[in-house]
Every structure is written in structure tokens, then in C-alpha cells.
Structure 1
Amino acid sequence: MSNEAPILLRNPVKEKLSRGEPVYSMTVRLVRTIDIASIAYTAGFDTVYIDLEHSSFSLQDAGQICLACNHLGVTPLVRVPGLDPSLIARVMDSGAMGIVVPGVQSADEARAAVRAVKHAPLGERSLAGAAPQLHYRTLPADQVVRELDQASLVVAMIENQAGLDAAEDIAAVDGVDIILVGANDLSVELGVAGQVDHPKVHEAYLRIIKACQAHGKTVGIGGMGGRPDLIRQYLELGAGYVSTGNDISFLGAAAAQKRQQFA
């Protein structure tokens, strides 16, 4: 009989993916207050990712949204601008349940992301003590490490030819959970900028799906929020994570639609 304490920290996204259910994400680039967590919850999103790559968000902004999401059962991820382990550690210590790493080009880069998110033996992250994800409970250090590491997600984005060429190796990295295909940037790299329905993009998706299926990883669909038909197609082919779009595009589309009602 195990003497380990029962798991206190749950990651709803991990649980849904383990059951073979798709998860839907909203990117946060505009709204810097915790209200966005409640909006995501009410709208039915499983997860948000807060974009530190393409926004002027501060770490404090991101941390506050992460805390609010965790209380609502919406899994908060943060897209970091790169592989700086000190920044990744601070993001995780602020309440994130995982990171999204843009432009991963090799298995070595994927392993670096895992090392920054996970504690030993899988990673090298420093133990910060009482964690916001655990509502600042005072727990034994071994339990804190176990709880945080089993719940955290590492999402590697493939957005360029180098990443596509290394897809099989990236998918094989222990600790990577999701490979998110950034269709917009990838289409540029493939010489078909913006044509997310181009056969070259489709072939890239098929290659990444095959690699992920071989290694038990989830495929993420990115850059196709305006093409629900393609999203459905890739879900049927085995993808499981959908990045639907960001708060800027959602607000702009709703505002334009409302204005047209009075044209």
C-alpha cells in the first residue's frame, strides 16, 4: 500500500486529454485583468494561454490571471518568448500550469523546456516552496515537487522547417505533452504564406500527427481559428488541442458584427 499523500493538484486539460477528449484554448494578448479568466470560464474554454511573446504583458499581469484561472478550473498556460530558464521558473512560480514555447527547432530545445519546467530528476527547476497552484499550502518538499510536476504541461510549438524536420525527435522527448503546430508561421516557411489549407501545410500536419501518435503525445492546432472546417478535419485525424484565437480578434469580430447590425 502506497504511503504517498493523495494528489491535491489537478490539471483539467491533462485529464481531458487522457480521456481522449479535445480541449479548446483562448489566447490572451489584450486583457490584463483577472476578468478574462471568468470570461474564458463562462465561454466554456478549457484553457487559456497568456502570450508573453507577442504582447507587453508583465509577469505580474500573467500571474494574476493564472491565479484566477486556477480557482475556476481553467488551465492557465503562458507562452514564453524563449527558453530563458529563469523566466520560465518565474512564470511557473507565479501560478502557471505550464508553458508554450514558440519556434522549437530540435529535441535539445524541447529538453531544455522540460528542464526549466520540471524539478529533478526530469528537470532542473529550483524548488520555490509554497506554490500558488497549491493555494500556498505548506506541504513536504517531495509532495510539492510531485504535485507540480505531474500537473505541469510543456507545449512545444513547431512553426518552421527546422522544427518540422525534427518533429519525430521532438515528439520523443520525455516531458513534452503537446506539439502545437503554428500554421501561420509554418505556412510562411513553406512558401505558402497564409494558405493554411495548402497541401504543404496538410502534409506537415500529417507528419506531426504521425510522430505524436508514435510517442503518445497530443497534437495541437494553431493558426486556424478562422477555419473551423480544417480544425474539425485535424481533430478527426487525431489532434486534441485547439488554439481558437485571441481576445483581440474575438473583440474585433464581435464589435464589427454589432456595428453591422446598425448599417
Structure 2
Amino acid sequence: MTVRLVRTVDIASIAFTAGFDSVYIDMEHSSFPLEAAGQICLACNHLGVTPLVRVPGPDSAFIARVLDSGAMGIIVPDVQSAGEARAAVSAVKHAPLGTRSLAGAAPQLNYRTLPPDRVVQELDQASMVVVMVESRAGLDAVEEIAAVEGIDIVLVGANDLSVELGIAGQMDHPQIDAAFMRVIAACRAGGKTVGLGGLGGWPDLIRSYVALGAGYVSTGNDISFLAAAATQKRHLFD
């Protein structure tokens, strides 16, 4: 479940009640403030709903602040090379795999005071790195991207990819299918999880790609869920 609209911790409880495993707070395509994102992350952690945050780009300083606010993982948009994927890992993980600064007591650990080596171990084990492939360049480099140590999920951004391919919104187009199949093969070879983005309105396609090995599905955002439910309810009285 993508969170773009709701700024309060209520959305964590809604996601939990609806049965979502994870939410991701979209700080790329919204005016979401960091303070609100951190509060929602904390609420999600207490409910067992994994909070991820999509950052605007690969800014390591901003990524560090998002993680220090309680996120359990980062989604980096439009990754186009193995080098950019390694930079994402470096921003999320501590040494020796990365360069993240040790902030001390962490909200993910309920602010317990633990030995630094244990903090590093627990945070690095728990903090996910999700990279988005949503361009021709990213798709051309997906085999190298999926081979990068520390990457957990390669998430296909089908909306932006379809726009770049000149087939905006045509998620059943053969080019989109070929792109998904290439990412699935690359992730199988690299031992990574395939993520599906942009297919929330195409449940049959989601089922088919999950059957082929995809393991993470972005189903839609709070704005679209609210609008769809409101529209459905309104039409009951036409």
C-alpha cells in the first residue's frame, strides 16, 4: 500500500486492518514531510507492518535521515546502473558493506541502548534496499543491477517505463511483458526478489507474474483507494 495522502498514524492501523504486509510512504511524488513519515513508520513497526519509504533520489544524507526516523527500508527510483544500485546499498548499510553513519539508539529497536556492533548487525539485517527499474537504461542494466550485493528487491516501475517506451498505460503490451520477464530472469539469477509496480488496476497480470516468481506487489495508493471507494458508494444511489 502506497501512502501519499494521509499524514497521520491512522494509516498504519488501516493498513494493518486491511491485511497489508507493508506500506511505502511516497516522498518522491508527494509533499510528505519527514516528521509525518517517521511517525507512520513507528506506528507500522509496532503493528508488524513493514514501513518502506520511497525517497526522491539517491541522496545519502536524506536516506540516512529517513532511516534514522524509523523506516525499515528505502525505495530508490529510476536506478539505471549497477553503480547507482551500489550507491543505494552504501547509503542504507553500515561498514563494511556501506557507509551509513551509526546514529545510536534507533527507533526500529525501540530506542534500546545496545552495543554498537549489535545495533549495526540488527539494523543492517533488517533494513531493505529496493531499487526501481523504470527506464530503458535501467532495463538494459537489470542483470548487473540484480547482481549487486545488498539489493533485496528490484521493483519494476511500469508506469514510467510504459511512458518511456511510448506505450503509456498499456500494461498488457508485449514490450511491458518482455520487460517483466527480463527482470524476473535477472532476479532469479541474482537471487533477488521481483517487485511489481504500476499494475494495481491489472489483477490478472499481477497473478500471472506472481506465479512466475514475483514476490512484492505495489497495489495502489491511499488516494486511489479513497477515490475508488467513494465513487463506488456514490453510484449506489444513482
1:30 positional shift: 0.1
Match of 1:202 in 2: 177
Q: What is the aligned counterpart of 2:2 among 7, 11, 27?
A: 27
Instruction: Give the counterpart of 1:51 among 17, 26, 33.
Output: 26
- Matched AA of 2:107: P
**1:22 aligned residue:** none
Give 2:177's aligned amino acid. H
Corresponding residue for residue 216 of structure 1: 191
Aligned equivalent of 1:169:
144
SS at match of 1:192: coil
The residue that corresponds to 2:111 in the other structure is 136
Aligned residues: 238
Tell me how far apart the structure 2 counterparts of residues 240 and 201 of structure 1 sit (CA, whole Å): 18
> Which amino acid in structure 1 is aligned with residue 42 of structure 2?
L
Within 2, Cα distance between the matches of 1:115 and 1:205?
A: 26
Q: Could you tell me which amino acid in structure 1 is paired with residue 208 of structure 2?
A: Q
Q: Report sequence identity in percent.
A: 77
Q: 1:62 aligns with which of 8, 23, 37?
A: 37
Give, in angstroms, the shift of residue 238 of structure 1. 0.7
Cα distance in 1 for residues equivalent to 2:83 and 2:95: 17
Is 1:102 the counterpart of 2:77? The answer is yes
Moved over 2 A (4+): none
Deviation at 1:57, TM superposition (A): 0.7
RCO higher in structure (CA 8 A, sep ≥6): 1
Which of 231, 234, 244 is the aligned partner of 2:219? 244
Query: Which residue type is aligned with residue 135 of structure 1?
Result: N
Asked if 1:84 corresponds to 2:59, the answer is yes
Name the amino acid aligned to 1:87.
Answer: F
Offset of 1:193 from its aligned partner? Answer: 1.1
Matched AA of 1:66: C
In structure 2, what is the Cα distance between the partners aligned to 1:220 and 1:98? 14
After TM superposition, give the deviation of residue 71 of structure 1 in Å: 0.2
In structure 2, the gaps of 5 or more residues are none
CA RMSD of aligned residues (A): 0.4
Residue ranges of structure 1 left out of the alignment (5+ in a row): 1-25
Counterpart of 1:194 in structure 2: which amino acid? G
